[in-house]
Chains A and B, each alone.
Chain A
Amino acid sequence: MAQPRVTPKAQEALDEDEQTGKAPDAKLYEELGELARFIDTTMKTLSEFSAPVNASTEQLPQAQTHLLNLKTQTEQGTHRVMLEVEAIQENHVQANKMLKDIAQALQHASVDPGLIQQMHALGQTLGQNDKRLLDIMTALSFQDLVAQSVNKLVTILDEVEHRLLQLVVVFGPYQKQAAKTDQSKASEMLKQLEATKNTSMDQDLADEILKQFGFN
């Protein structure tokens, strides 16, 4: 009958057991105990991160609010400037019309041609200003680019908040030594977090998760 094949690593362990005089079961039990203590230490170390994670998670919605306020303020400021530009543009239309009427009247009145030339020059100046006003208007498109960047930042922060809350949910029950009911609630919250992954997370859900794990 063929002998079962023994790997070099297993052979080494068997040799060690033979030398120490320990039964294989006792050795395995000892190693499992070591592993359990290592996992326990690791989990405790990880749970020490929960306070800074919680602090960061709590601040993220504030950061998002600040960013959205920034977008709103630039939008309002841009509209304010546009309102003024449009008013000046409208005034220019009226001024140009009046200039033409006056120039025609002066021509019929046989006044100094120099004066009529000055009227034309004034019209040209208004035209140049119209061009500048249009340049100001188009330059205000910076607000759209700012808004797009802000939206991207808000999306990133939302994703970071999701990840941090997942950490809070995963390590929260361990740290607080929660009962089984809390653990099943944690699973439910993870499902809810996953469901909101591609949308903006409900603030109530975020608050509820933090509250469940002792964060206020």
Chain B
Amino acid sequence: MPADPNMKILVVDDMSTMRRIVKNILKQLGFNNLEEAENGQDALTKLHADTYGFVVSDWNMPVMMGIDMLRAIRADEKLKKIPVLMVTAEAQKENLMEAVQAGVSNYVVKPFTAETMQDKINKIFK
């Protein structure tokens, strides 16, 4: 199923520059309904308050790490089916394995290109 351009997407990153970059890329890819959160805890609050179709999250954040947020999403009956794309500088194999075991939908390593982001989104929603 192709991605719905009107679905609400939550961009989670503690760095305002990265949130802006990811939102810009998603906008260029045709997605217009974009929201943002500063950490995993903030994201979980927003995910419970509204209906989201997709989450793009950083790994390394204060308050709650992306991997912990992912585990919380997968353990939550209401949220567990939301696709989660991890965008991270943590390129170590162990981190990737940890994310896969936690139920990540796909994984993008920084620095990345818009094409990589599009390719990963296409694979998630194919």
Chain A residues within CB distance 8 Å of chain B: 75, 78-79, 82, 85-86, 89, 130, 134-135, 137-145, 147-148
Contact = CB atoms under 8 A, between A and B. Distances in A.
B8 to A, nearest CB: 21
Nearest to A137: B24
A147 B13 CA distance: 13
A137 B114 CA distance: 9
Category for how many chain B residues contact A: 10 to 19
Contacts of A79: 16-17, 20
A141 B24 contact: no
A138 B16 contact: no
A145 B111 contact: yes
B21 A138 contact: yes
A138 B15 contact: no
Contact of A78 (B17, B24, B28, B111): B17
Contacts of A145: 89, 110-111
Nearest to A143: B17
A142 B111 contact: yes
Interface in B89-117: 89, 110-114
A144 B90 CA distance: 12
B75 interface: no
A141 B16 contact: no
23 contacts: A75-B15, A79-B17, A82-B17, A82-B24, A134-B24, A134-B25, A134-B114, A135-B113, A137-B24, A137-B25, A138-B112, A138-B113, A138-B114, A141-B21, A141-B110, A144-B13, A144-B15, A144-B110, A145-B89, A145-B111, A147-B15, A147-B17, A148-B89
